[in-house]
Amino acid sequence: MTADEIRLVIPAEEDFRPIAHLVTGGLAMRLDVTYDDLDDLQVGIEALLSLRDDMGELVLSLSADDGVLRASLGPFPPERVQDGARDGGLDLRRVLETVCDTHEIDERDGAAWVELTKRLATAGASA
């Protein structure tokens, strides 16, 4: 089995976030992802996208293999990812733990990158 992979580079400005969601939804549709799984992944992606609103580039990589959808996003200032959204909203870690199976923070070249994984429910899982 080969993995489908998409790499999207967009400005980190809020106006471009819908493009990330559109691309994620398009891949999910090709993979016959359930609405609940797509919604969970979209919530996790939005929680991360909201950490930045600037003219810099933001990279979203999506891949699917063996029933697992992966999203990698970055770069983020490490302190933003660690602090999460503690301004009265839900903590980033709590959101990601709720909607994704795993989330990992990796530091590359002084910036934080976050990888989310979501195991996909499939209608034909039992043979």
- Strand segments (E) across the chain: 4-11, 57-65, 68-76, 102-108, 111-119
Contact 24, 82 (CB under 8 A): no
How many CB atoms sit inside 10 A of residue 108's CB? 9
| Non-local CB neighbours of 18 within 8 Å, separated by 6+ positions | none
Q: How far is it, in rounded angstroms, from Cα 107 to Cα 117?
A: 18
Q: How far is it, in rounded angstroms, from Cα 68 to Cα 100?
A: 11
CATH class of 4-119: alpha beta
pLDDT at 27: 87
Inter-CA distances, 101 with 13, 86, 120, Å: 27, 22, 10
Listed by start position, the domains of the chain span 4-119
Strand pairing category for 102-108 and 57-65: unpaired
pLDDT by position in tens, the chain (length 127): 445 689 999 999 999 999 999 999 998 888 888 999 999 999 999 999 999 999 999 999 999 888 899 999 999 998 888 765 455 456 888 899 999 999 999 999 999 999 999 998 764 444 3
